[in-house]
Amino acid sequence: MASNPSRVTFDRVASVSVTAQEDHTQYGFMNEYRNVLRAQLTSQTSAFKLCLGLHDVFIALFLVLLILMTIFGNILVVLSVFVYQRMRTFTNILLTSLATADLLVGLVVMPLSLLDLLHSHRWPLGRLLCGVWATTDVLLCTASILNLCVISLDRYMAITRPLRYPRTRSKKMAAGLLSCVWLLSLVICSPPWFVPGWGLFTQYSNNGILSSNITSVYSSTVARHPFACVYSPSVPYRIYSALVEMSTSHLRSMILGST
C-alpha cells in the first residue's frame, strides 16, 4: 500500500519539532547549570579577593608591625627568665606566664585576625579553623586577664605584708597558681565544642562569611569576666592606698623619733 505523502511530511515535521524541543530543553538545563557554576565561582572569587585599598594597606602594615613587636617583646621576656637563673623568681615566673599567653596571641590569633580583615571578614579557611581560631582567642585572652589578676594580687600581698608574704612564696605555689589560671581559661573556652547553642562562636555561614558583632563581643566579655572588671581597678587602688598608709606611718615615726 502506498503511503500518504502528507502523512509522511507531518510525521517528519513532528519528529523535527520534538527533537528541537528536546535540544532546547537540554540547552536550557546546560545554560542554567553554567550560570550556577559562574555564580559559585564569582562568590568564591569575591570571598578570597583581598581589599587592597590605600586605607587597608596602611592598616595591614600597622597590624603587621604590631604583631612583630608583640612577638619580639614577649620572646625577650620569656628568654630572659629561661636563660638567666637569677631571674627565675616568683614574680618573674608569673610574668613569664603572661608573656607566654601574649606571645601565643601574637603568633596565632593576631595573624588570623589580619587575614580575616584583609578578606573583608569573609573567613577563607573553613568552619573548623574558624572555631579553633575563636576558641584560641578566648583561651589566650582569658589567660592574660587571669595572669594579670594573679600578678596584681602578688604585688598587693608583697606591699601590704612585706615580712610574712615573702616566706610563703615558692616555685610550687607559682606552679599551682598558674595551673589554676590556664585550667580555668580552658574551662571557659571549651563549652562551645560540647554545648549546642552556647553562642560563643561568631556566626559562620555556608558561603564563608564570618560575621562579628562588636557590641556582643564586649557584652560577652563583661558578662564572662565580671570579677575581672571589678578586680582590676580595685587592687591597684588598694596597693596605692597601702603605700600611702605605710609612707605616712613611716614619716610620722621619723618625726616622733626626731622630737
Q: Which domains does the chain have, with CATH numbers?
A: 57-204+224-257 (1.20.1070.10)
Task: Say how many Å lie between the first and final Cα of the chain, rounded.
Answer: 149
Count of CB atoms within 10 A of residue 190's CB? 15
**pLDDT of 120:** 77
Highest mean pLDDT among 35-44, 138-147, 154-163, 228-237: 138-147
pLDDT, mean of residues 15-29: 53
With b meaning 16 or more CB within 10 Å and e meaning fewer, what string describes 221-239?
A: beebbeeeeebeeebeeeb
**pLDDT of 216:** 42
Q: Could you tell me the three cell numbers for 148?
A: 594579670
Contact 156, 206 (CB under 8 A): no
**pLDDT of 38:** 61
Q: How many residues does the chain have?
A: 259
Give the confidence band of 221 by pLDDT, cuts at 50, 70, 90.
Answer: very low
The percent of residues in the chain predicted with pLDDT above 90, rounded, is 25
Lowest model confidence (mean pLDDT) among 181-195, 198-212, 225-239 = 198-212
pLDDT, mean of residues 125-130: 80
pTM as predicted: 0.63
Cα distances from 227 to residues 46, 145, 149, in angstroms, run 43, 11, 10
Give the confidence band of 54 by pLDDT, cuts at 50, 70, 90.
Answer: confident
pLDDT, mean of residues 83-101: 91
Closest CA to 121 of 31, 208, 244: 208
48/214 Cα distance (integer angstroms):
23
φ, ψ for residue 208, nearest 5 deg: 90, 10
65/69 Cα distance (integer angstroms):
6
More confident residue, 37 or 212: 37
Helix pair angle (90-104, 54-83), 10° resolution: 150
pLDDT, mean of residues 40-48: 49
Average pLDDT, the chain: 72
237/150 Cα distance (integer angstroms):
15
More confident residue, 47 or 139: 139
Contact 113, 134 (CB under 8 A): no
Lowest model confidence (mean pLDDT) among 98-107, 201-210, 248-257 = 201-210
257/249 Cα distance (integer angstroms):
12
Q: What is the CA radius of gyration of the chain?
A: 33
